[in-house]
Structure 1
Amino acid sequence: MKKLVNAPLEVVREMLEGFVALAPGQALLEGETVVVRADVPAALGARRVAILSGGGSGHEPAHAGYVGAGMLHAAVAGDVFTSPSADAVLAAIRAVAGTAGALLIVKNYTGDRLNFGLAAELARAEGIPTEVVVVADDVALRDTVEPARRRGIAGVVLVHKVAGAAAAAGASLAEVAREATEAASALGSMGVALGPCTVPAAGRPGFTLGEGEVELGLGIHGEQGVRRVAHQPADALVDTLLSTIVEDRDIGKGERVALMVNGLGGTPPMELAIMTRRALAFLAERGVKVERAWQGTFLSALEMPGCSLTLLKVDDARLARLDAATQAPAWPGRGTLVAQRRVVSTRGALPTIQGHPKPQPQMAKVKAGALAVADAWDAAEAKLTELDSAAGDGDLGLSLARGAAAIRALPEGAWGTPSGALMELGQALRRNIGGSSGPFYATALLRASRYLTNKVPDAADWAKAFQVAVEAVSELGGARPGDRTMVDALHPAAEAMARAVREGKSLGEAWAEATRAAEQGAEATAGMTARLGRASYLGERAKGIPDAGAAAVVIWMKALG
């Protein structure tokens, strides 16, 4: 797997240099891969309880992103997925702790417990009061190991916040340690991975997954999960994760919680939002009150696709710690939820045409043709998606499938007159086809509709309506023949139809000639250099692939024929 690194051995130091360069409240500890607060008082007696955490790198923005007033005083970074040394942890303690002491927040992994534990012992020997709180929030291991031996995963971030706020408020080391311990005990987390990640030094994924498989209950170091299951819709995965958490943590009706939806590094906000949507609904269905919720990437596993869900039981005191101000750059804010999801209605929608009370005789054929187009678009969805993905954004197949559904949904009253039907088709496609295709088709149909107003069209009228529709597309997008767009199919088709009608050919014969011209025009786009649209960004690399929009024109023209 390709990565944007210089050398595996330099990854951690260079990463921290990049982070700190954009964080005015942070500094690097000389000679160590440690990020510290830049505002730590020089006088040891003036320092409040120092909160430290860390572990292997690869979990960004943890832990350096949580260094700042109100959260961590220092973050100690080891190599990727490797615990930092006890000496590095001790150096961090010396740098930020004073007579009030230090609290080390440690995820429950053997290397972290050993090295942070030894550093705590060494610090105590130097006269620095030091306590350790271990976070073991991975409920996926509930049937495998006893609670104290579970892994620490994303929930540790919430413990950072609680402890950091307590320390900032002036609490003693014993008080801060108590609050952190209680928060850790009230946590439950569980994750799902859609694929593995790749450690820079290893250069290969930690495991492999089949196309239709996911890993449930994984840690944060690229390891496999507790069990491998078939991929499921997002809602089903959320239900599985949260069912395990609420059962393990005994979270029932009336309980108050904070929710964290955490991306593992390779999950886009779109997918995290879908997970959040279901998580909130799941908890509401069970009478659990979500007081705060956060969505984003808070503790990752390099570029792993997937997410984890965390629930933290809260009361007013713990909420106050979560709400307290912090300058840590990666903390997402208060996590306030809206009381009720708001949906506002639109105003000024265009009126629809109800149709002629006595449909014109030809309208049965017009409706049948439109429904044939819908069937053709559905049948071609995969083909158009493939074509559009090669030189565009890959959305054309799905967009036209939505258009097909919109055509089928038109009421019977839409099919009264040619002008009315084209108007209704244009409005329907405008509302349902995304991207550029929706505006193009809607504009073409609306322009043709206006031309046919009050007409019982003959072949010449249909040819002219097609011509003005094509002109509308060209005007709207600025495309001309040769630009490698849908116009390369539409323009020769309109010319061929008009010519055939002038020669006295029937409407069916004229449409057949127009379709052949469109097909030749679409095929020719494979040899063109795109001058408009996303394909123009590819330059010569788009050659050899027909334009997807032009191919779509051929599909619906053949269906009408």
Structure 2
Amino acid sequence: MKKLINDPRAVVRQMLEGLVALAPDQALLAAEDVVLRRDPGPAATRRVAVLSGGGAGHEPAHAGYVGPGLLAGAVTGDVFTSPSTDAVLAGIRAAAGPAGALLVVKNYTGDRLNFGLAAELARGEGIPVEIVVVADDVALRDTVAPEKRRGIAGTVLVHKVAGAAAEAGLPLEDVAAAARAAAAALGSMGVALGACTVPAAGRPGFTLEEDAVELGLGIHGEQGVQRVKLAPADALVARILETIQADLRLRSGARVALLVNGLGGTPPMELAIVARAALAWLRAQGIEVLRAWSGNYLTAIEMPGMSLSVMALDDARLAFLDAPASAPAWSGDGRIPDAPAIIAAPAAVAEAAAAPGPLAPAMKRAVLAVCAALEAAEEELTALDSAAGDGDLGISMQRGAAALRALPEGAYASPAGLLEAMGQALRRAIGGSSGPFYAVALLRAARRLEGVAAPTAAQLAEAFAGAVAAIGELGGARAGDRTMLDALLPAAEALTAGKGLPQAVAAAEAGLEATRAMRPRQGRAAYLGERAVGTPDAGAAGVVVWLRALAAA
């Protein structure tokens, strides 16, 4: 287990101290793991205090939601363990005034017992207390009664509704009623791509095959309701939303809020793909998504995966969601456009179509041979690039091959025209550094052959040398810097010396092999220094792949 912690037994306290150190409007109780608003105002004039909490490991919940319009306090237990009764009672005492307190509790036995007992003790001290239990996990709809379901990420939306109702000055009974209605209108379900590791345990909670996911899991690192095959994001989203829709009985015309929640180990890239799919699916059912949020709201430490929460809205609930709120983890009002704005790119200047020239069959044969070779080498190039770079060369070359395959017949009108078309296609298809390098090389070579219908070997060699020089000028690399130039320069020298393509390939292969012993001085590999030595350069390997294909064709 590798975690940035000191002592597993001190994780919770040190985490809360760090969170409060970063939040000017929050405070931490000295004797309990309770985060409160720093300046709640005089007790006699306080509105209803909304408190929530649970075990640690769900960050940014629950401390991240302490602030105006949300929670008055958050009580934290050990990782995935309910806080103690004394901690909850201390939070109630510190946050509540005569208006009382509302406890928003996720439906787990430990939480219900400890929050429930604390509420009873507080009532005995004269503090009015109500409890709202959130049981939004629809994955259990065919397994247990609704009141036995778990509380998961949708709880955050209940925090927002309850906090807004309290901030509006409503009495405790009305704040509780608004929170209960929100919980009843809520359905959530999640999927995990792997397990998380509890610091005290030191090992993942379960093992999962590479091609499997856990569907319908809770938030405590446990397995789901069902283990299923990994599917594309759109398919997993549809399966989850079908379950939520059936449980909430949502029909066309329904108005909802959507929460796309990461479980701690899912990058924003993947959550955005999930959000895209969820919005599209709901809208396809005629369901109007009025508000939506995406991010890490209630996690399971570093678990890879996500959950979706849908809350049916009426005017009152929408107003509560829209009410002002401020807390470290609350990310805005959730307003979204009715549809994504996709703006057409300016059209390129149209060129007259040209007829294929006499060399078209041979040139096309060579291009397709290069494409096939690059596609076949995708895995090899990815592995090499992953060893000393960012691992995208294989897929970049594959994209480039697809772009070259799609060239129109008119691109083969002349050698210069083909090189121009290839350069333009690759600059659009390939991101990173490879696209600009190959594009500038091909465009430079095209200019060298302008007006030459049937170039000689010497003219082709001169164009090749010019292309290689253009790469050096653009990137600033030289021979020995461990780049693609270490394969290209020897090949160019062989061609300009009057040797044929087989000899140029042999020279490039020797240059590639030499990169094994070179210390990189350009690109991302340069950050690794000596650690990159021993592996050939991926860019040079890509050059050898397509040069071999040209020679064979």
Aligned to 2:413: 416
Of residues 440, 444, 448, the one that matches 1:443 is: 440
Aligned to 2:428: 431
* 8 A Cα contact 2:356 2:409, kept in partner: no
* 8 A Cα contact 1:190 1:241, kept in partner: yes
Task: Please report how far the alpha carbon of residue 39 of structure 1 lies from its aligned counterpart in structure 2 after TM superposition.
Answer: 1.5
* 8 A Cα contact 1:265 1:304, kept in partner: yes
Q: Which runs of 5+ in 1 are unaligned?
A: 502-508
**Alignment partners' CA distance in 1, 2:332 and 2:427:** 38
- The one-letter code matched in structure 2 to 1:7 is D
Deviates further, 467-476 or 511-520 = 511-520
**Alignment partners' CA distance in 2, 1:494 and 1:481:** 12
Aligned to 1:92: 91
The alignment partner of 2:102 has SS state of: strand
- The one-letter code matched in structure 2 to 1:21 is A
* 1:283-325 superposed Cα distances (whole Å, 9 cap, x missing partner): 1111111010101010000000000000001111111110111
**Alignment partners' CA distance in 2, 1:346 and 1:187:** 40
**Alignment partners' CA distance in 2, 1:345 and 1:531:** 40
**Alignment partners' CA distance in 2, 1:350 and 1:545:** 44
* 8 A Cα contact 2:356 2:410, kept in partner: no
Task: Please report how far the alpha carbon of residue 363 of structure 1 lies from its aligned counterpart in structure 2 after TM superposition.
Answer: 3.1
Aligned to 2:455: 457
- The one-letter code matched in structure 2 to 1:382 is E
* 1:155-203 superposed Cα distances (whole Å, 9 cap, x missing partner): 1000000000000010000000000011001100000000000000000
**Alignment partners' CA distance in 2, 1:342 and 1:54:** 38
Q: Please list, as runs of the form range in 1=range in 2, the aligned pairs for 1:19-168 lying within 5 A after superposition.
A: 19-41=19-41, 43-168=42-167
Aligned to 2:484: 486
- Aligned residues: CA RMSD: 1.0
Task: Please report how far the alpha carbon of residue 278 of structure 1 lies from its aligned counterpart in structure 2 after TM superposition.
Answer: 0.9
**Alignment partners' CA distance in 2, 1:225 and 1:329:** 30
Question: How much identity, in percent, do the aligned residues show?
Answer: 65
**Alignment partners' CA distance in 2, 1:253 and 1:362:** 60
Task: Please report how far the alpha carbon of residue 351 of structure 1 lies from its aligned counterpart in structure 2 after TM superposition.
Answer: 5.0
Q: Please list, as runs of the form range in 1=range in 2, the aligned pairs for 1:301-450 lying within 5 A after superposition.
A: 301-347=300-346, 349=348, 351-352=350-351, 354-355=353-354, 357=355, 359=357, 361-450=358-447
Q: Which runs of 5+ in 2 are unaligned?
A: none
* 8 A Cα contact 1:353 1:423, kept in partner: no
- The one-letter code matched in structure 1 to 2:538 is A
Of residues 466, 469, 475, the one that matches 1:468 is: 466
**Alignment partners' CA distance in 2, 1:381 and 1:401:** 6
Task: Please report how far the alpha carbon of residue 132 of structure 1 lies from its aligned counterpart in structure 2 after TM superposition.
Answer: 0.5
Task: Please report how far the alpha carbon of residue 348 of structure 1 lies from its aligned counterpart in structure 2 after TM superposition.
Answer: 6.3
- The one-letter code matched in structure 2 to 1:349 is A
Task: Please report how far the alpha carbon of residue 353 of structure 1 lies from its aligned counterpart in structure 2 after TM superposition.
Answer: 6.8
Aligned to 2:197: 198
The alignment partner of 2:104 has SS state of: strand
Of residues 511, 518, 522, the one that matches 1:532 is: 522
Task: Please report how far the alpha carbon of residue 347 of structure 1 lies from its aligned counterpart in structure 2 after TM superposition.
Answer: 2.6
* 8 A Cα contact 2:356 2:411, kept in partner: no
* 1:346-376 superposed Cα distances (whole Å, 9 cap, x missing partner): 2363655733x361x3332122111100000
The alignment partner of 2:500 has SS state of: helix
Aligned to 2:6: 6
**Alignment partners' CA distance in 1, 2:464 and 2:489:** 10
* 1:508-548 superposed Cα distances (whole Å, 9 cap, x missing partner): x5111111111100111111000000100000000111000
Task: Please report how far the alpha carbon of residue 332 of structure 1 lies from its aligned counterpart in structure 2 after TM superposition.
Answer: 1.3
* 8 A Cα contact 2:483 2:537, kept in partner: yes
**Alignment partners' CA distance in 1, 2:19 and 2:364:** 61
* 8 A Cα contact 1:352 1:424, kept in partner: no
* 8 A Cα contact 1:376 1:555, kept in partner: yes
* 1:445-472 superposed Cα distances (whole Å, 9 cap, x missing partner): 0000001001131011000000000000
* 8 A Cα contact 2:442 2:467, kept in partner: yes
* 1:114-146 superposed Cα distances (whole Å, 9 cap, x missing partner): 000000000000000001100000000111110
CA pair 165-412 structure 1, distance change in 2 beyond 3 A: same
TM-score w.r.t. the length of structure 1 is 0.97
- The one-letter code matched in structure 2 to 1:424 is A
TM-score w.r.t. the length of structure 2 is 0.98
**Alignment partners' CA distance in 2, 1:50 and 1:342:** 41
Task: Please report how far the alpha carbon of residue 22 of structure 1 lies from its aligned counterpart in structure 2 after TM superposition.
Answer: 1.2
Corresponding pairs, count:
550
* 1:55-94 superposed Cα distances (whole Å, 9 cap, x missing partner): 0000000000000011000000000000000000000001
**Alignment partners' CA distance in 2, 1:373 and 1:429:** 13
**Alignment partners' CA distance in 2, 1:415 and 1:235:** 39
**Alignment partners' CA distance in 1, 2:219 and 2:352:** 58
The alignment partner of 1:549 has SS state of: helix
**Alignment partners' CA distance in 2, 1:241 and 1:215:** 12
The alignment partner of 1:260 has SS state of: strand
